[in-house]
Amino acid sequence: MMVQYVNGIFLLIGFVIAPLLCYGVCRWLLPRRWRCKIGVVGAAVIILLTAYGWTFGSQQLTVRPVTIVCSDLPQSFDGYRIVQFSDAHVGTMTGWRKAMLQRAVDSIMNQRADMIVFTGDLQNIEPHELPEHLAQLSRLKAPDGVYSVLGNHDYAVYQKADSATKAANCRLTCEYERRAGWQLLLNEHRTIRRGSDSLIVAGMENWGVAKRMPHRGDVGKTLAGLQRSAFVVMLEHDPSAWRARILPESWAQLTLSGHTHGGQLRLFGWSPVSFTYDVWGGLYHEGRRHLFVSTGLGGLIPFRLGISGEIVVITLKKTL
């Protein structure tokens, strides 16, 4: 019910409120000779862009290659390939949109990566959205495994229910991810070995600077028992944790995040999400440490304009 309500509000804004507001502003500010014509054109453009983003824009999928150079990458992992996808929000992929998930899974498998990682927000609100998609999600396989972390939506925090019900639903979401054959990391890590070399994939639970976000991430627990010489790929849904927690509390060389969706809107390189996140899409650096923020695959609202859903293919390279 909540998803239908949110989508209904969005469509009301896109098809009625914003066009009327545009027309009214033009009538108020522009010279009498042009104001009606420009107002009508502006309103029509808003309606057309809303329709495009809701239909064609939300279906677009980009495979995005990224090369990340790390001086302390173990030699045996030079050329190691990781596919990252994030923010699937499969509860939106129903009806005719269900084919979008199949296409995404096909694209991921076609990359033949060494490892697949999912950086959170598999569902919209509740775990009952997941069973119809398990067959597709279970198709994801990689030689070194499929790893995941939870996003804020996966904790059922937006469900209207008591805390016990929310906790039970969160456990059910975890169970569904494990049934899909994924290794869900809850403030823990795994070791990938190549001969005498190793790479750590660590999964930190959600932590964000916003007060309403789940604050379950524990950097110390996630990396417990590791030596500082270990090469760590940290999975953390919310990129705001990178500067606030991961950089000061760890040595993780590479962090992979999602959460922002790139605002699901980008015009001339600008996105409204830049008002709240200074790291919201793409590759960022602090010294020899790196953050990649995926702009996601889907969204609770099936709308994208100027920023398509994406699958990220990361190649790790060692400097000479």
Residues 296 and 179 in one domain: yes
> 244-288, pLDDT tens digit by residue?
999 999 999 999 999 999 999 999 989 999 999 999 999 999 999
Domain of residue 83, CATH code: 3.60.21.10
* Span between the terminal Cα atoms of the chain, in Å: 55
pTM of the entire predicted model: 0.95
- Specify whether 157 is located in the same domain as 181: yes
Task: Give me the domain span that covers residue 43.
Answer: 2-54
Residue 12 above 90 pLDDT?
yes
Question: What is the pLDDT confidence band of residue 32, given thresholds at 50, 70 and 90?
Answer: confident
Same domain for 104 and 213, yes or no, is yes
Kindly give the residue spans of alpha helices, DSSP state H, lying in the chain. Answer: 2-12, 18-29, 32-54, 98-110, 134-137, 163-179, 219-222, 240-241, 247-249
For residues 245 and 207, the answer to whether their CB atoms sit within 8 Å is yes
pLDDT at 1 over 80: no
Instruction: Please check whether residues 37 and 178 belong to one and the same domain.
Output: no
Q: What is the mean pLDDT of the chain?
A: 95
Strand order in the sheet with 197-203: 188-194, 197-203, 232-235, 254-257, 289-293, 282-286
The pLDDT tens digits of the residues spanning 234-247 come to: 999 999 999 999 99
For residues 88 and 28, state if they share a domain: no
Based on the domain organization, do 204 and 288 belong to the same domain? yes
Per-residue confidence band for 137, with pLDDT thresholds at 50, 70 and 90: very high
Range scoring the smallest mean pLDDT among 33-42, 111-120, 272-281: 33-42
Structural tokens at position 176: 């569904």
Q: What is the pLDDT of residue 320?
A: 63
Domain check: are 120 and 13 in the same one? no
pLDDT of residue 4: 84
Under the banding of pLDDT at 50, 70 and 90, the label for residue 221 is very high
Q: Verify that 66 and 30 share a domain, yes or no.
A: no
Q: What is the pLDDT of residues 283-304, one digit of tens each?
A: 999 999 999 999 999 999 999 9
| Cα–Cα distance for residue pair 108/116, rounded to 1 Å | 8
Residue 258, token pair as written in the block? 């999602």
Domain count, the chain: 2
Residue 191 reports pLDDT greater than 90: yes
Handedness of CA 182, 61, 153, 250 (dihedral sign): positive
> 154 and 189 share a domain?
yes
